[in-house]
Amino acid sequence: MKEFDYIIIGGGCAGLSLAYELEVHKKLKNKKLAIIDPRTNYKRDKTWSYWKVIDHNFEDCVKKSWSRFHVTDTSRKNNESDCSYYPYQSIDSEKFYKKILKKLKKNKNIFFKKKMNKSQFKGSIIFNSVPSIKKFNRDRVNYWQHFYGIEIELKKQTYGLDKFDLMNFDCDQRNAVHFIYILPFKKNRMLIETTWFSKYDKKLFDYQKQIDQWIWDWMRLKKTDYKIKYREKGAIPLFPIHQKNKKNFINIGTAGGMTRVSTGYTFLNIQEHSKYIRMNIDNINEVERFQIKKKYFFFDKIFMKVLDRYPEIMPKLFLNLFGIFNNSIIKFLSNKSNLIDDIIVIFKMPKWTFVKSLFN
């Protein structure tokens, strides 16, 4: 006899989003759910950001939204762009966790487990959010988006709030693709992240030094001019994670292919996947697997080839990408583009370089 109807492996963004979706739509009314995660205390550990191209359950967890942004290349040439139709949002993970846990703990049929024996999985439908990518940590072939960020509080209110810096490439590139990402939450408080699109090279891991240098170069701030209030660090695989679904075993989150290879965007894909599972939960083994459209894997494969062969063109490429037709670009980056949007993006690319990479 099965102990649980559903088991979610991993209580992070994907696992909790699915549990919340099932709970609020009363799919767990007469069902038992176990969520397996080793942590005992949920606190702020991530910042999830995205272009709001669809509605989602966590509008009340948004720390801030922006309607304009900057991209700056290595020569400090700058584009200011509009995204008011699809605002850019950042989710505070602590608010996200609190909201979901408060809701889930009201249901006595939902159990939080640090670990479970495999014998307890028998007969349950399992949703796995833990990707099997440990072997890639030493891989010199695949690319990662790896980053380190600090949220700082300035002694003086010197920073504007109306726009954010999506990519500032005026930093040491080291034969890879490197940019600084800045989200101003208040006039005296902002998240600054150093972000790399590169192979997993430990020589690039002097993150704090990179941020210190940028803060001095761009803001002329000494370490005594601000306090570090929060730190975060992570690595997102920029390659497909091939984990097969089986009967009664469905992969979700990055393990389920919900990370866009060329951008690392995952949050809204998780929300759409959770909704799809909830709508089909009663016959989940019979329905077609939810996945990002194949055309994006094709485009992303070419993009990653270009990034590998010509990293030096990326700052100029991203600068030129934004400006006009921003809605089409944003939809493309968020898996929501139509044929016209795709054509607009293609015409903004260095076509000969992409063609060579396609056939190489």
Q: Which of 131, 130, 60, 129 is nearest to 274 (CA)?
A: 129
In a domain, 264, yes or no: yes
- What phi and psi, each to the nearest 5 degrees, are found at residue 345? -65, -45
pLDDT of residue 55: 95
**Lowest mean pLDDT across 263-267, 342-346, 352-356:** 352-356
Residues 258 and 312 reside in one and the same domain: no
Residues 115 and 193 reside in one and the same domain: no
CATH number of the domain encompassing residue 18: 3.40.50.720
Residue 258, domain extent: 6-42+58-63+92-132+241-283
Residues 226 and 250 reside in one and the same domain: no
Judged against a pLDDT cut of 60, whether residue 140 lies above it is answered with: no
Strand order in the sheet with 68-72: 78-82, 68-72, 163-168, 177-186, 189-199, 143-154, 226-237
Rounded mean pLDDT, 15-28: 97
Tokens standing for 50?
A: 């995205």
* Domains identified in the chain, total number: 3
In a domain, 75, yes or no: no
Rounded mean pLDDT, 66-71: 95
The dihedral over CA atoms of 310, 83, 46, 201, expressed in degrees to the nearest 10, equals 10
Residues 163 and 223 reside in one and the same domain: yes
Rounded mean pLDDT, 181-207: 94
Residues 168 and 233 reside in one and the same domain: yes
Q: Which residue has the higher pLDDT, 345 or 120?
A: 345
In a domain, 69, yes or no: no
Judged against a pLDDT cut of 70, whether residue 17 lies above it is answered with: yes
In a domain, 155, yes or no: yes
Residues 124 and 245 reside in one and the same domain: yes
In a domain, 156, yes or no: yes
Residues 116 and 98 reside in one and the same domain: yes
In a domain, 84, yes or no: no
Residues 115 and 213 reside in one and the same domain: no
Rounded mean pLDDT, 333-356: 88
pLDDT of residue 201: 87
Residues 98 and 25 reside in one and the same domain: yes
Phi-psi region of 24 (alpha: psi -120 to 50; beta: other; left: phi over 0): alpha
Q: Which of 98, 25, 88 is nearest to 61 (CA)?
A: 98
pLDDT of residue 150: 97
Rounded mean pLDDT, 214-221: 92
Give CA–CA dist 202/210, Å, rounded.
14
pLDDT of residue 350: 82
Residues 209 and 223 reside in one and the same domain: yes
- Please return the burial class of 71, using the count of CB atoms within 10 Å of its CB with bins 0-12, 13-18 and 19+: buried
Amino acid letter, residue 108: K
Residues 116 and 20 reside in one and the same domain: yes
CATH number of the domain encompassing residue 158: 3.30.70
Residue that is written with structure tokens 């170069």 in the block: 217
Q: Which of 4, 15, 35 is nearest to 271 (CA)?
A: 15
| End residue of a domain, out of 237, 252, 275 | 237
Q: Which of 196, 187, 193 is nearest to 64 (CA)?
A: 187
Tokens standing for 284?
A: 């989940």
Residues 32 and 128 reside in one and the same domain: yes
pLDDT of residue 134: 62
In a domain, 279, yes or no: yes
In a domain, 298, yes or no: yes
Q: Structure pTM? A: 0.93
pLDDT of residue 107: 95
